[in-house]
Amino acid sequence: MSCSQVQLDSRELPRVSGPTPSWLTCRTFLGILILPQLFCTAAQLSVDVLDETGQSLPCRALARSSDGTCHTPVSAVVLEIGPDRWFYTDGSFELDVPTGELELRVEHGLEFRRYKQRFHIDDQGARKSIVLKRWIDMKQRGYLCADNHLHVDSRSVGAMAISEGLDFASSLTWWDGPDPERPVPPGHGASRILEFSGRKIIASIHDAELEENWGAVYVQNMPHPWPLESDKRRPNLDYLKYAVAQGAIVHYQGGWSREVGLDALLGLVHTVNVCNNNFHMHRFQPRRRYSNLLEVIGFPDYPETEEGMMRMNTETYYRLLNWGLRLAAGAGSATGVKQVPVGYNRAYIKVDPAATLDQFYDTWRAGHNFVTNGPMVLLTGPEGESPGDAISLEKPTDKLGFHVRVFSDQPLQSVEIVQDGKVVKEFSVTDEQEADHRFQIPVLQSGWLAARATAFDDLLSDEELQIYDDDPRQRPSRLRFAHTSPIYLSVNGKPPGVSGSIEEGLLMLDQLESFAKRQAHANRLEDITREITLGRAILNKRLDEKREMSLEPSEQ
């Protein structure tokens, strides 16, 4: 696919904003603001941010006085997160600040250690040279990263993505219709080359979000603008059939979305966001109501805790995998409408460092990845297989060897192995920054295996963390986590699947049909009912296969 280049002046970046709900004040509004300094200046702070090679490093910075006022350069790109007002910089900036105590924080994505320091500013001002050090280099390990849920103008997203260490950018220029606040930029082709501070990044710019009651779904790498009109009474599958035919990659917000199961059965879904916009920097969204949107009797009701929301994301993903589907793990942040940095939730794809945008998305679609908002988790099989790969066995085995490695710059809390939706290995955490385990598990039937890890973000004190308890729709959080896509296991060519999960899928389709009868246009109802019937046939066939297998003599 071809692309055009867009030059960005680091000092004159365009404004990016999102819709402002009535309950938000201008102080909590997330967007890109250009504001005058409203305080009397008494000194100047000059800062240079460098990487370990001595090169200037684009980054996100926060400068806060003891009275809580955050200071920003006059024409800066600003990101508000609760009471914080971060700004993006090419690596050098000057600020007029009052004398007294000042807190300075500087960050560059997930792979660099975060800088946080308090110091005194006198009337002579101060000059700081800050070196941000890597704690890991995922590109050297063979991974590139991106975020699939960015409501940021296609020009501004370049500055943000480069400053957060992403390798590819994305802009949702269609959100239930063409988004006037985030238009497709001038140029031709499916992507644009964006430049900030002398660095370049490629962005897919015909990306779209469908966000009606059928379920939020993100479509990336469309070759051209969307020709379809938005209609809340039109099921997602109509749009997704078109998108998949165009070669796009499709990500669902969660395994709990109403239509995700049907669309996945029809081959219209490639990833499900395990790290999704339920989780923000220092906060999470309690969304217990999403536990069971189809109102299936007997389904779990997840508690409104950070662990409960993580379980809601993971366990509803496992249910889909247990239908015998191959679905990669996805990650998205919702920057532009949520208070979170670009790439806070990101996917690391195992791909050639010189990969094109098309190759990157194709590899993500195939599931060669993990997702994270903190730790890095790597899983390999007995012959070096990694997530997205399949291992074929001629017969069941009691011992199949795997290797999991986890790295973190925040204290690790857990490292676990999940097989067919159940934790089959839990490792004691003896090193807060690294875990390395070789293990064996029985593989008695076809299915899947994945690794996950959690960490505790200890950057802020309890008092500092409480300032993020300023929004009734979010709560403070220290939870960070990572999850791989599955390695698929085939035993004697038998089909995968977990009978209980498949039976749950049939209940979901029943409830989806009831929902469609209430929601869909009359001229759309016949189509979705037909597709639901096809989905039932797929699940019933897999359920029959599992029942037949249970009647076969043991192969052990």
Give, in order, the Cα–Cα distances in Å from 19 to each of 26, 151, 175, 178, 337.
12, 10, 12, 14, 7
The residue written with tokens 């490792």 in the block is: 427
Angle at CA 171, nearest 5°, toward 73 and 455?
A: 75
d(CA 363, CA 360): 5
- pTM of structure: 0.92
Distance between CA atoms of 274 and 317, rounded to whole angstroms? 7
pLDDT of residue 270: 98
Q: Mapping DSSP to helix (H, G, I), strand (E, B) and coil, where does residue 522 land?
A: helix
pLDDT for 74: 87
Instruction: For tokens 């000194």, name the residue.
Output: 43
CA distances from 252 to 132, 148, 259, 483 (A): 34, 10, 9, 16
The SS3 of residue 319 is: helix
Instruction: Give one DSSP letter per residue of 93-129, joined into a string.
Output: EEEEE-SEEEEEEEE-TTTBPPEEEEEEE-TT-EEEE
User: Could you tell me the CATH superfamily of domain 33-131?
Assistant: Immunoglobulins (2.60.40.10)
Q: Retrieve residue 247's tokens.
A: 């070669």
Q: What are the beta bridge partners of residue 219?
A: 208, 250
What was the pLDDT predicted at 549?
85
- The pairing of strands 346-350 and 369-372 is antiparallel
Question: What is the block-wise mean pLDDT of the chain (556 residues), using blocks of 10 residues?
Answer: 45 37 32 41 90 97 96 91 95 95 97 97 94 98 98 91 98 96 92 94 97 96 93 95 98 98 98 97 96 96 97 98 98 96 98 97 98 98 98 97 98 98 97 97 97 98 94 94 98 96 98 97 95 98 91 58
Query: What is the enclosing helix (H) or strand (E) of 513?
Result: helix 499-519
Closest CA to 130 of 49, 247, 221, 228: 49
| Share of the chain residues as helix, strand and coil, in percent rounded to the nearest 5 | 20, 35, 45
Locate 133 and state its tokens.
Answer: 């050090």
Rounded distance, CA 544 to CA 506, Å? 13
What pLDDT, on the 0 to 100 scale, is given for residue 554? 54
Domain spans of the chain, in order of start = 33-131, 143-491
What distance in Å separates the CA atoms of residue 306 and residue 311, rounded to the nearest whole number? 9
Could you tell me the strand order of the sheet in which 434-443 lies? 376-380, 397-407, 434-443
Q: Could you tell me the CA-to-CA distances from 241 to 172, 367, 436, 531 in Å, in that order?
A: 19, 20, 42, 12
